[in-house]
Structure 1
Amino acid sequence: MLGLAFHGIHDPVRWDTASARPIPAARTATAGGAAGTVRFEAVSKTYRSASGTVQALDAIDLAIPAGTIFGIIGRSGAGKSSLLRTINRLEEPTSGRVIVDGEPIEALDADGLVALRRRIGMIFQHFNLLSAKTVRQNVALPLAVAGVPKAEIGPRVDEVLRLVGLEGKADVYPSRLSGGQKQRVGIARALVTRPAILLCDEATSALDPEATLAILGLLRDINRRLGITIVLITHEMSVIREICSDVVVLERGRIAETGPVWRVFGQPEHAATRALLEPLSRDLPEDLAARLRSDRTAGASLLLRITCAGEALDLAALTGAAGAPVRLIQAGIDRIQGRAVGRMIVAIAGAAPEVEERLRVLGGEIERIGYVAADD
C-alpha cells in the first residue's frame, strides 16, 4: 500500500493499489468538533464604501454536517460568495461567529489561519491555474508553499492526479487542456493538501453541460471515497439537484429556506426558491396558455399544477378524490435522494368548486392555473 493522507500533512491513509482508490481512515476531530463540520452563528457581513453600505449577510444561523455535500444557492447578490468565503476567512464577518470543526476561527492567529486553510481546499469558477506551469507543477504548488519535502511531493501529486482522472496529463500545460480538464487540475490542487472540507465557488459555471455533469460526478465520487465535506455555491438548481444532500437558499443576505434537497425542490416555501426552480419547470403549453380563462364557464376544465414530494402521487387516487375525469397535460418526476419529486399539470373536466380541497388530502401543493372552456 502507498501512504497518502487527506486530513493532515503527514497522516497516513491506505490506498488500494488494484483500484487506485483510497481506503478512508477514521477521521479526527479538532477542538472537540467532528472533522469537516461548519457552523455559522448569527453571521453578518457589511461592505462599506464611499458610495454607501451593503448588507451582504444578515444574521445567518446554519450548520453543515461533516461528510455532506451542502449547496448554497441564490440569485446574484444574495450573499453566496460572502458566506462561502467566511469558512476559510477570505472574508471576515462583521459580526457573529464561524466555527470549523468545533473551533471558532475568528480568534486564530497567523499560524492558526494557515493551518485552517490547509484543512480547507477551494476550487474556483475560472480554474486559477498558472499558465507557465505544467499540470504537475500547478498541483504541487500548495505543497511547495507548505514546505513539504520534495521526496513526498511527487508521489502525492501522482496520486491525486490519478484520483481525478488526469494521470496522463502531468507534464501538459493548461493551454492544452479542455475546460473540464482544467477544473480537474483545480480539484487535484485543492485535494493535494489533504483537506477535510472542499469549497466550490461556482465550480461548473464556466463549463459546458457535458463537462458540468462529469465534474459533478467526480465531486460526488470524491465525497463518497474520502468522506470530505463539500460546500458549493451556485445559481443553478440543476447543480443542486444533481449532487447535494442539503441546501440553503439565500435571498438578500438572509436564509429564505433550508433543508434536504428533495423537500426544498418538492415543497418550496419561499418565492425566491420558486423563482430559482422555474427554469426546471416546463411552462404551460402555448396552445393552452392562449386559451386560458380566469373565470369558470359551463363545461370548462379546471387546470391545476400539482407538486408532490416524498411520495409519488397516485393518479387513480387523484381521479377518485376529484370526483370527475382527470386528464394529464404534462408531468415530470425526478428521484432525489430516493424520493419522488414531481410536478404535473392536470385538467379536470366539470370540476366542482371544492375540488382543490378534496385533492389536498392526497398531499402535495395545489395551484390553480385557470380554466379552459370545453369548446375551445
Structure 2
Amino acid sequence: MTGLALGYGAPAGRAATGTASAIPIAGAGQRAAGSVRFEAVSKTYLSSAGAVHALDGIELEIPAGAIFGIIGRSGAGKSSLLRTINRLEEPSSGRVLIDDEPIGSLDENGLVALRRRIGMIFQHFNLLAAKTVRENVALPLLVAGVPKAEIDRRVSEVIGLVGLQGKEQTYPSRLSGGQKQRVGIARALVSRPEILLCDEATSALDPETTLSILRLLRDINRRLGITIVLITHEMSVIREICSTVVVLEKGRIAEKGPVWQVFGQPRHDATRALLEPLTPSLPDRIATRLLPAPVPGATAVVQIAFSGQTQPDLSALAAAAGTPVRLLQAGVDEIQGHAVGRLLLAIGGGPAADLTERLRRLSANVEVIGYVPADD
C-alpha cells in the first residue's frame, strides 16, 4: 500500500498537504480529534402501545482513537445509542458531545459538517446496485461538491487501503459479501472522517470473512488513528478487535470496562448470557454423573477461572492440590495481554474446603462444582 497519503490530519473538507507517501501510522500527535461523550442521554419512543424507553441516562466517554464496542441483546438500545453520535437519532434528554462540543444545537450546515466527520458502515452494505465500486465510493464526495481531480485521488487511495484494487469497475452483484463490506468501508473513509460507526458490520458475513473485516478495521485504526465505535450482539467480535466494551441492557449500562476484564469477570446476567456461546459446556460424560456431595471414592470437579493473570501453571496447580489432578477441559485465551478463561480439573482426595483453600493460593477464582465417581 505504498504511494498513498490519506491526509487524515487535515480538517474535514480540506485537501491534505505534503507529498504522497505510505499511509501514515497514527501516533506522534497526528490526531487528537474523535472523542465522544454521552451525558445523561435518554431516548423515548412513543407508540400505540405506550412509551418505549430505548435509552435511560447513559453516561459514557469514548476517547479519541479508541476501538470501542457496544454490545447487548436485541432491544438493548445499541442502535439508538450509536445513531445519536451522528444525530440520526435525537436524544429525548441529555446531550452528546463530539470533541467536547455539544452537537444537539447544530444548525443544518453544522449538521452536514458533523456528518462529514463521521463515517458509517452497515450490516447490509447499502450499496447502489447500478453503480460500480468506484462510483459507490465516490458518491459522498460528489454530493459534497469536491472537484473531480480530488475525488479521483481520494477514491483511488481508499480503494487501495481496503484492498479492492482491480475491482473499481465491478458492480456490487459481482462482489462477495466481504468485498461489498470493503466498498462500504472505503465509502465511509473517503470523506476523511474522525469517527467510524459500525452498525452490526459483520453480522451478514461468514466467520472467515468476519475475521478479515475486523483485521482491516483494526489496521485502519492503527494507521489512521480514527475512532471506531461498533455495535454487535456477538462477544467474539468484541474480543477480536475492541479495547473497551460497554454492555447495554434495557437501555441502561449493565457494565463497562477493558475487554479482558469484562470477559474474565462478568458481573451482570446480561454479560454472562452474551458470553455463554463462548464458554465451553460441561462434557456430557461429566454432567450426567455429577453429584452435589462427595461419596466414597468420588473425585472433585474443580473449576478455576482466570482473569487478568499470567497463563496458568499446571504443575503448580498439581503441587498445590497435593493429589493426582486430571485436566477435563480447558479454555484459556489471551486478551490484551491477560489470561482469561477457565480450567476444569478432576482432583481426588481430601475435603473440598481444604482443596479449594490450597488452590486459592494460586488463583482466587476456585469453585468445586460437584463430584464424580473416580473412574470418570
1:13 Cα deviation (Å)?
A: 5.8
- 1:9 equivalent to 2:7? Answer no
What secondary structure, in the 3-state scheme, does the structure 2 residue paired with 1:298 have?
coil
Aligned AA (2:332): I
Aligned AA (1:295): A
Deviations 1:267-288 (CA, angstroms, capped at 9, x unpaired) = 1111211111111111111111
What secondary structure, in the 3-state scheme, does the structure 1 residue paired with 2:352 have?
coil
- 1:100 equivalent to 2:136? Answer no
Equivalent residues of 1:8, 1:119 under 8 A apart: yes
Aligned AA (1:226): L
Match of 1:271 in 2: 269
Structure 2 distance, partners of 1:4, 1:159, is 7
Equivalent residues of 2:5, 2:20 under 8 A apart: no
Equivalent residues of 1:13, 1:23 under 8 A apart: no
Point out the more displaced range, 208-217 or 319-328: 319-328
CA RMSD of aligned residues (A): 1.9
Deviations 1:88-124 (CA, angstroms, capped at 9, x unpaired) = 1111111111111111111111111111111010000
Structure 1 distance, partners of 2:37, 2:339, is 30
Q: Which aligned pairs between 1:212-231 and structure 2 lie closer than 5 A? A: 212-231=210-229
2:245 to 244, 247, 257: 247
Query: What TM-score results when the alignment is normalised by the length of structure 1?
Result: 0.93
Q: Which aligned pairs between 1:27-66 and structure 2 lie closer than 5 A? A: 34-66=32-64
Q: Check 1:122–1:299 CA distance in 2 against 1; reply closer, same or farther (3 A cut).
A: same
- 1:198 equivalent to 2:196? Answer yes
Q: Structure 1: state its 5+ residue gaps.
A: none
Point out the more displaced range, 90-99 or 6-15: 6-15
Deviations 1:130-152 (CA, angstroms, capped at 9, x unpaired) = 00111111111101111111221
What secondary structure, in the 3-state scheme, does the structure 1 residue paired with 2:52 have?
strand
Equivalent residues of 2:25, 2:222 under 8 A apart: no
Point out the more displaced range, 7-16 or 283-292: 7-16
Structure 2 distance, partners of 1:25, 1:369, is 48
Match of 2:170 in 1: 172
Q: Check 1:313–1:78 CA distance in 2 against 1; reply closer, same or farther (3 A cut).
A: same
What secondary structure, in the 3-state scheme, does the structure 1 residue paired with 2:114 have?
helix
Point out the more displaced range, 153-162 or 316-325: 316-325
Equivalent residues of 1:13, 1:22 under 8 A apart: no
Q: Check 1:60–1:361 CA distance in 2 against 1; reply closer, same or farther (3 A cut).
A: farther
Equivalent residues of 1:35, 1:66 under 8 A apart: yes
What secondary structure, in the 3-state scheme, does the structure 2 residue paired with 1:335 have?
strand
Deviations 1:29-71 (CA, angstroms, capped at 9, x unpaired) = 8xxxx41111111111111111112111111111111111111
Aligned AA (1:90): L
What secondary structure, in the 3-state scheme, does the structure 2 residue paired with 1:97 have?
strand
Structure 2 distance, partners of 1:15, 1:368, is 64
1:12 Cα deviation (Å)?
A: 1.4
Point out the more displaced range, 365-374 or 301-310: 365-374
Equivalent residues of 1:4, 1:13 under 8 A apart: no
Q: Check 1:334–1:28 CA distance in 2 against 1; reply closer, same or farther (3 A cut).
A: closer
Q: Check 1:13–1:298 CA distance in 2 against 1; reply closer, same or farther (3 A cut).
A: farther
How many percent identity over aligned positions? 70
Q: Check 1:275–1:368 CA distance in 2 against 1; reply closer, same or farther (3 A cut).
A: farther
Equivalent residues of 1:322, 1:351 under 8 A apart: no
Q: Structure 2: state its 5+ residue gaps.
A: none
Q: Check 1:229–1:14 CA distance in 2 against 1; reply closer, same or farther (3 A cut).
A: farther
Q: Check 1:351–1:16 CA distance in 2 against 1; reply closer, same or farther (3 A cut).
A: farther
- 1:338 equivalent to 2:337? Answer yes
What secondary structure, in the 3-state scheme, does the structure 2 residue paired with 1:63 have?
strand
Structure 1 distance, partners of 2:29, 2:96, is 21
1:189 Cα deviation (Å)?
A: 0.2
